[in-house]
Chains A and B, each alone.
Chain A
Amino acid sequence: MTKKKNKETISGRLMGRVLIVSALIFTFTFTLFLHMAANKMREDATAHAHRELSNTIHQIDAVLRSVEIAVENTAWIVPHLLATPDSMYNITERMLHNNDFIYGAGVAFEPDYFRSEGHHFSPYSYRGDEGLVQSKQVGGKAYDYHYMDWYQIPKLLDQPYWSEPYYDDGGGEKMMTTYSKPLYDDEGKLYAMLIADLSLEWLTDLVGGIKVFDKAYNLMVSRNASFIVHPNRELILGETIFSSTYGDTDKSLAKMQDDILNGRAGQVLRDNKGGKYFVFYSPVETTQWTVAIVCPRSELYAGVKTLRGLLIILGIIALLLMIALSYKGIRKVVAPVEEFSDVAKKIAQGDFTAELPEIRSKDELCELRDSFEYLQQSLVQYIDELKATTANKERIESELRIARGIQMGMIPKIFPPFPERDDLALAAKLVPAKEVGGDLYDFFIEDEKLYFIVGDVSGKGIPASLVMAVTCRLFRSVASHFDKPEEIIASLNDSLADGNESNMFCTAFLGVLDLKTGHLSYCNAGHNAPLIIGADGRVAPVNVLPNLPLGLFGGFPYEGQEMQVDKQTMLYLFTDGVNEAENNQKTQFGDLRLAALLRRKATLEPCDIIAATLAEVEQHADGAEQSDDITVMCIKYC
């Protein structure tokens, strides 16, 4: 159960990836879309705000221009009436009568312009109680107008000037601005300033009335950034748009400062303590005062917020739909893979004909099905072949087992072979490397003579075993007909050489021991020399002529040898399976080790010496596979 829970599935992984990639694409697309939508909304809002600002500013400019025109239209009269200073009152009063929107008008003269009027002379008319036009001379020690902005700045600039708004000194708490036009005499020397005061109370309603956004508010600042219009009236002419942000090094603030100071339109995003605000601003052309709309960012992007909510819901629905559809699709594709997995298991269990899933599509799965089908067919064919091969092998092995029995039956295997004799002890052993081998030994006694042979057929296995069988049979049949070993050997050689097309050969040592005299006649045919183990334990090789192995050249003149065997002496014959036995390091057992072994075991009986030899050879091999047949024969003459 747990295993199933943790099991990873292709469809699960594919779904995971599809889900991640889709979610990323959705998120990216939506973010991009929202970003673009937000930009568009901001652009629209900016355009809208600036349109509204522009309308308002046009209205303000219209009023200000009408004041400028009123002053311009009056200026020409002043020089004509300079002869009578008091007539200036007529001019200023007329200005008020003719222009309802002007609050006050005056002609402020340069210091000591009229001797009769003193240092300060500034006739001024204004709208008093109930709108009645009243006039007075306003200059004096306590009101040294020569140092007022409205007088000093146009004088220094030599051009008309709109003063920054200020509260009038009349106590009416009216916010005013003054338009001043410098008046020059014929010599181009300034002699007076013609001024018109404009109350700015109407600006509050006009600017405050701009309605672009629900939660936005509007304000207006002078060139020195003081509030002219602000929802909080206490701030008007008391605070500047920057006073609460003094010390703030924000770039948006620096841009706004620069724009306001230089009368440029623009918009910035400000991060105030209360949140983020967009400030759209645009200057009044005439005075370069700035009208601004302050709108919470949240309101501007309210549409984006709604859109975002909608997109998130749509996105989730789309994702869920996609998951459902793609799951179905992926399952359809992946289900056969699971079926293939089951088929593979069945095949593993031996059901090579398990039914494969039906694949109608011509895709990789179809190829997989074809491969499986091919696999099934191949497996069936292979298994059939394997069965035949195995049966064949079993048969051959069985035959080999029989052949081994036959081969072993050819050589004497009852020891001691001559228990009734006390002058001879003989033991022999043949250990074939495979089921059947090419080594041979044999012996028999006839006329008190012991005929014996030890041989080794070239090669191994069945071919060698056949030659061995032939050699053994020939030895038995031929030996008693000849007296001398070399004759027996020559006869064997001729028989074997005859028709030996496969060039098989056999080394052999053949001896005839006269049991009465201890005289040994022998002939060696390419076999390794037997060893003589003396009664004193000395081990020495028998002096042998090499001659040629049997079966190579018919008619070869084999040469016999003779020697006298002492009582209690042992004759030790062996094939190269003994001295050339190899271990895993390919080190041979060796003649020296064999000689040493025999010296140590010299006192033992032949059968024990053979057992000791085989044991030591096995020890030397140390598990390494026996590569050659091993044959040992030991004859003790007593």
Chain B
Amino acid sequence: MKRYLCLICLLLALVSGYAQQLTFTPQWMPQSQFAGYYAALDNGYYAEVGLDVTIKHPTASYGSMSMLKDGTANIITAELIRAMMATDKEVRLVNLMQTTQHSTLVLISRIKEVESLADLAGRRIGTWRVGFSEIPYMIDDEQQLGIEWVQFTNPLNLYISGAIDAALTKSYNERVHFSMAGITPASELRFADMGYDFPEDGLYVTEAFYKKYPEQCRQFAEASRKGWEWVRNHREEALDIVMKYAKAEKVPTNIYIQKWMLEAVLQEQEDVKGEAPSYSLSVSDFDRLNATLLKHGYIANPIVYNRFVGGKP
């Protein structure tokens, strides 16, 4: 009996000392968009709560959602629309944290005087292979614009070569690359100004994973939040961390792009400009998007907020 007790004690000690291994996958290659997670990892915030986090980046053709579904990744970042659609159709997801509170979608065009998507009817518009384009698609469908959507992994050279007439970009990402390449678009449309200001990036796990490791999920979110707050207060150091990861993944970028991106991302995290971020998904934003997605058939059934945020059944 004493021997068994010792064995149990030994096992418990091993279990308690054994850090939970987690694979985190952001939507894209290393860049300031994910600075909070790199900072949390580098500053040891995950380790502090007993999490052994590995960051595994997606490839250009195999995204974070795919990796979450096949189990390659445990925790991912995803856009709210994508996460709700996945919850409806593919796998139930739980929102652990909402970072970006606004739509960062910007359409730039080689054609002058474009004031709405309708002005590009029948033309080629570049869009991401990995998503982010549901709203433009909805407008195209609704107005029967007949837009030829050309999926890209990077719109810059498609745009420069003239292979596409316009491209969807993220204000903090591709849009900056265009400026850095010395391009001034003939027209520019911001979706947030067109009545489609929906929250974007958030932190997600599958509901199954959440149910299994609720505490770890909470700890990961909390440590990530800590990471983001550190970034907000240490922008120069945060940039160095981002550049380190970018270099390791051979991402063709530079500190100027990342600096600009970081500023934009941090600003988009503020629910109200100039105020500290809540890092939570607002019920009203959620309800508005829920209704929009239902109306356009992007989801079959309404998603329940309480289950989606916090995994309550």
Contacts and interface: CB of A to CB of B under 8 A. Distances in A.
Nearest to A164: B157
Contacts of B250: 167
Interface stretch (B24-32, B49-57, B177-185, B269-277): B177-185
Contacts of A142: 59, 61-62
Interface in B179-200: 179-184
A152 B126 CA distance: 11
Given A238-B254, A243-B257, A246-B256, A225 B182 contact: yes
Closest 5 CB pairs of A and B: A257-B182, A144-B61, A156-B163, A239-B254, A224-B181
A156 B181 contact: no
B184 A257 contact: yes
Interface of B: 59-62, 124, 129, 150-154, 156-158, 160-164, 176-177, 179-184, 250, 252-254, 256-257, 260
B157 A163 contact: yes
Q: In the complex, which of the residues B164, B179, B254 has the most CB atoms of chain A within 10 Å of its own CB atom? A: B254
A422 B131 CA distance: 160
A244 B158 contact: no
A327 to B, nearest CB: 62
Contact of A239 (B162, B163, B256): B256
Contact of B160 (A152, A166, A223, A238): A223
Given A147-B153, A156-B150, A238 B181 contact: no
B256 to A, nearest CB: 4
Interface string A224-238: 111000000001011
B264 to A, nearest CB: 13
18 contacts: A144-B61, A147-B152, A148-B153, A149-B158, A152-B158, A153-B157, A156-B124, A156-B158, A224-B156, A225-B181, A238-B254, A239-B254, A239-B256, A246-B179, A246-B260, A254-B184, A256-B182, A261-B182
A225 B157 contact: no
B61 A147 contact: yes
Nearest to B159: A224
A141 interface: yes
B167 to A, nearest CB: 13
A603 B77 CA distance: 145
A242 B176 CA distance: 11
A238 B247 CA distance: 9
Interface in A215-229: 223-226
Given A235-B254, A239-B256, A240-B182, A261 B160 contact: yes
Contacts of B252: 166-167, 226, 237-238
Contacts of A143: 59, 61
Interface residues of A, number: 36
B175 to A, nearest CB: 12
A147 B60 contact: yes
A157 interface: yes
A161 interface: yes
A224 B158 CA distance: 10
Q: In the complex, which of the residues A157, A240, A244, A261 has the most CB atoms of chain B within 10 Å of its own CB atom? A: A240
A239 B60 CA distance: 21
A260 interface: yes
A347 B202 CA distance: 111
Given A239-B256, A243-B257, A157 B161 contact: yes
Nearest to A166: B252
A241 interface: yes
A204 B250 CA distance: 20
A216 B254 CA distance: 24
Contact of B157 (A149, A167, A258): A149
A157 B150 CA distance: 12
B61 A242 contact: no
Contacts of B163: 152-153, 156-157
A240 B59 CA distance: 24
B162 A157 contact: yes
B60 A224 contact: no
Given A143-B61, A147-B151, A243-B254, A153 B180 contact: no
Nearest to B176: A246
Given A147-B60, A147-B151, A238-B252, A243 B160 contact: no
B152 A152 contact: yes
A161 B177 CA distance: 22
Interface string A244-271: 1010000000101110110000000000
Given A147-B152, A147-B153, 15 more contacts: A147-B151, A149-B154, A149-B158, A152-B158, A164-B160, A223-B160, A224-B181, A226-B181, A226-B252, A235-B254, A239-B180, A244-B256, A254-B184, A257-B184, A261-B182
B180 A225 contact: yes
Contacts of A254: 184
Nearest to B158: A153
Given A143-B61, A147-B152, A156-B164, A240 B181 contact: yes
B131 to A, nearest CB: 14
B252 to A, nearest CB: 5
Contacts of B61: 141-144, 147
Interface string A129-145: 00000000000011110
Contacts of A152: 150, 152, 158, 163
A241 B182 CA distance: 8
Q: In the complex, which of the residues B151, B153, B164, B252 has the most CB atoms of chain A within 10 Å of its own CB atom? A: B252
Contacts of B253: 238
Contacts of B151: 147
A254 B179 CA distance: 11
Contacts of A224: 156-157, 160, 177, 181
Given A152-B158, A223-B157, A147 B129 contact: yes
A161 B163 CA distance: 11
A156 B164 CA distance: 8
Contacts of A147: 60-61, 129, 151-153
B174 to A, nearest CB: 12
A242 B178 CA distance: 10
Contacts of A148: 153
Interface string A152-171: 11001100010110110000
Contacts of A149: 154, 157-158, 161
A257 to B, nearest CB: 3
A224 to B, nearest CB: 4
Nearest to A258: B182
Given A152-B158, A164-B157, A167-B252, A242 B124 contact: no
B67 to A, nearest CB: 11
Contacts of B59: 142-143
A458 B252 CA distance: 132
Q: In the complex, which of the residues B154, B160, B176 has the most CB atoms of chain A within 10 Å of its own CB atom? A: B160
Interface in A257-287: 257-258, 260-261
A157 to B, nearest CB: 5
Contacts of B257: 243
Nearest to B179: A246
B311 to A, nearest CB: 31
A334 B264 CA distance: 80
A141 B66 CA distance: 11
B158 A246 contact: no
Contacts of A239: 180, 254, 256
Contacts of B184: 254, 257
A240 B180 contact: yes
Contacts of B179: 242, 246
Nearest to B247: A238
A13 B5 CA distance: 118
Q: In the complex, which of the residues A164, A243, A246, A257 has the most CB atoms of chain B within 10 Å of its own CB atom? A: A243
A255 to B, nearest CB: 10
A86 B181 CA distance: 40
B60 to A, nearest CB: 7
Contacts of A241: 182
B254 A260 contact: no
Nearest to A144: B61
Contacts of A257: 182-184
Contacts of B162: 157
